[in-house]
Amino acid sequence: MSLKDAREKDLFLLDQNAEEFETMETCYKYVTGEQWEPGLKRELIDKKRPALSIDLISPLVNTMVGIERDFRSGLEALPMEGGDQEIAAIITYLLKYLNRNKKIEKMRSRVNKDVAICGVGWTDNHIRLGDDYLNEIDPRWESPFRVRRDPQGLDPDQTDWNLMARDRWMNDDQIKSRWPDADIRMLSGEMTAEELRGVVIEDDKDYFQGRSFNIESFIEPALLTIKPDS
């Protein structure tokens, strides 16, 4: 897949998941105490009126997460239709090993909390190169705000999904290995907003048309927001 095709698919998934992400963000605001509409809390403070919040949601979420932790079942592989008991036992030992060393149950609890709050939870069950050039299963929690799913997919097991995206930072070597023709340009904190616009946006107006481009924690200490012309 070319970089242009990847960007087109990324923009499609971003637009199609925007409403769901907005709902998820609203759900999390009610848990973190940020559910006030912009300006409303400041208006009450200016009028010397108390801005009270009665948190009824966090205790329910904590109760649901606690129940899952207290009553979670162990990991066990069972043979199908009278299959090999020894193979099932070996797989069970492997699952228990992964659970002890990779803290699978702790990760599942974190995913379960995401589901309790916003209805969406993700795990990244990938295989990486481990010690002595052996492959290792490395399951990890993934933020629901970093994964965008196929809007036309209906099955939860993803069997009918054609598209899926996960946001992540990539270094120069990773970008070049995936897209050898990518034009990598260096950014610095000394650049003005217009210089950053020229490097990041003007080079690819079609992709950034009508959208804002946020540079955060990438250029320090300033937090810059660049809004391309419509």
Domain that holds residue 94: 18-150
Lowest mean pLDDT among 26-35, 36-45, 192-201: 192-201
Instruction: Find where tokens 């932790």 sit.
Output: 69
pLDDT-based confidence at residue 230 (cuts at 50, 70, 90): very low
SS3 at position 124: strand
> Which three-class secondary structure string do you get for 39-82?
CHHHHHHHCCCCCCCCCCHHHHHHHHHHHHHHHCCCCCCCCCCC
145 with 197, same domain? no
- Please give the DSSP secondary-structure letter assigned to residue 128: E
Average pLDDT over residues 183-199: 68
Q: Give residue 226's pLDDT.
A: 41
Q: Which residue has the higher pLDDT, 188 or 7?
A: 7
> Is 78 among the domain residues?
yes
Q: Which residue has the higher pLDDT, 197 or 220?
A: 197
63 with 116, same domain? yes
139 with 198, same domain? no
> Is 195 among the domain residues?
yes
130 with 31, same domain? yes
145 with 194, same domain? no
Q: What is the pLDDT of residues 76-101, one digit of tens each?
A: 888 887 678 888 888 888 888 878 87
56 with 132, same domain? yes
Q: Give residue 117's pLDDT.
A: 92
pLDDT-based confidence at residue 225 (cuts at 50, 70, 90): very low
Would you put residue 179 in left (φ > 0), alpha (ψ -120 to 50) or beta?
Answer: beta
Q: What percent of the chain has pLDDT over 70?
A: 78
> Is 34 among the domain residues?
yes
Lowest mean pLDDT among 11-25, 50-64, 114-128, 187-201: 187-201
Has residue 218 got a pLDDT over 60?
A: no
144 with 41, same domain? yes
Alpha-carbon distance of 221 to 189, in angstroms, equals: 8
112 with 222, same domain? no
Instruction: Find where tokens 């509409």 sit.
Output: 37
Average pLDDT over residues 8-25: 89
Has residue 202 got a pLDDT over 70?
A: no
Q: Which of 1, 10, 29, 67 is nearest to 204 (CA)?
A: 10
Q: Give residue 198's pLDDT.
A: 66
> Is 175 among the domain residues?
no
202 with 142, same domain? no
**Residue-wise DSSP of 150-183:** -TT---TT-TT---EEE-----HHHHHHH-TT--
CB distance 160 to 149 below 8 Å:
no
Has residue 26 got a pLDDT over 80?
A: yes
pLDDT-based confidence at residue 113 (cuts at 50, 70, 90): very high
Confidence (pTM): 0.68
Alpha-carbon distance of 73 to 68, in angstroms, equals: 9
> Is 218 among the domain residues?
yes
86 with 146, same domain? yes
pLDDT-based confidence at residue 221 (cuts at 50, 70, 90): very low
Domain count, the chain: 2
Q: Which of 143, 110, 106, 141 is nearest to 126 (CA)?
A: 141
Alpha-carbon distance of 182 to 4, in angstroms, equals: 10
pLDDT-based confidence at residue 55 (cuts at 50, 70, 90): confident
32 with 111, same domain? yes
122 with 200, same domain? no
